[in-house]
Amino acid sequence: MKQTAQAYIVTAVIAVVAIIIIASSSFYVVDIKSQCVITQFGRPVKVVQQPGLKIKTPFIQKAKYFEKRIIEWDGEPSDILTRDKENIGVNTWARWRIVDPLKFYTSLGTEDRGQGVLDEVIVSAVKNIVSSYPLHEILRNTNRKLEYTTVELEKAEMDKKVNVVKGRAILVGEINKMANEGLSERYGMELVDVRINHINYVPAVIPKIFDRMRSERIRIANKYESEGRREEAEILGYMNKELEKIESEGYKIAAETRGEANAEVIRIYADAYNKAPEFYSFTKTLETYEKTIDNNTRLYLSTDSDYYQYLKGYAGKEEPPDILPGQ
């Protein structure tokens, strides 16, 4: 009895394990973000895109899952020579999805191979389109007027005669169209969008570009400096002219004032002479002696000298000292 019970238990366990194995091989789940291809002995027999619990033949059929959502693709920078001989590096990114899982499985099999196909078709389309247009068509969308910090840069841009015919947005659309050609028919995949991440000059060209920009800025700086020196010379010339004008007017006013003062002095002297000619002559004589005679000068006068007569007349008029009353 004991051996019989053990045999029943072993048989039940084996049956349960077998049922689990068969059930796990028979049922599969497709979630909302996935789609799958059912293969039988390696050959696809069915495509399942609706989410839910599904049934397949155990051990014979297998489910191969693929992404139903949009998948990212990021490319490496590509060195491209534009039509106007500008060597630039263009970095692009794209988004794609699997629209025909059966064709995708039979032609590529895995999403990694799909990424490899996009590496070829997108890079090829970018090179073909970018190399067919000048650089300004790839950088700009419209002919809107750009704002420059200096008039010279704006003039240099006008001299280049930049005219945007299509613009970057249209060129990106052409890249998308060219890269998308035949993808659905051959691989069961579709490009949702292709965009240019950034555009830059290749590293070997960047130092030359910087040198050219530096020389351009130096030329503009030298022009501003020469214009500044010219304006400085004009300002200094005008200032010196005004200064000379002010000084000449000052000298003129001073001379006129001095002349008027001298005339007034002469008039006063003339009035004084007319009122007391002898006194005027006497004072002028004293002033002359004061300026010509000092302590070391000996003066010899004759009795008929006018100065002697003045001194003699002054000495003869000297009054006696006052006598107090009662003396």
CB of 62 closer than 8 Å to CB of 82: no
SS3 211: helix
Q: How far apart are CA 240 and CA 261, in angstroms?
A: 31
pLDDT attached to residue 87: 87
pLDDT attached to residue 20: 64
Averaged pLDDT in 10-residue chunks for the chain of 327 residues = 64 65 70 89 85 78 89 90 88 93 91 92 93 87 66 61 82 92 91 90 73 78 86 90 89 88 82 73 72 72 69 54 44
pLDDT attached to residue 49: 85
Q: How far apart are CA 88 and CA 254, in angstroms?
A: 76
CB of 98 closer than 8 Å to CB of 104: yes
pTM greater than 0.85: no
Q: Start-end ranges of CATH 3.30.479.30 in the chain?
A: 71-213
- Cα dist from 267 to 19, 45, 87, 277, whole Å: 148, 139, 96, 14
The three-point CA angle 129-145-152 to 5° equals 105
Burial of residue 237 (CB within 10 Å: 0-12, 13-18, 19+) is exposed
| CATH of the domain spanning 71-213, picked from 2.40.160.40, 3.30.70.20, 3.20.20.20, 3.30.479.30 | 3.30.479.30
- Largest distance between two CA atoms of the chain: 192
Please state the three-class secondary structure of 44-56 as a single string.
Answer: EEEEECCCEEEEC
pLDDT attached to residue 153: 60
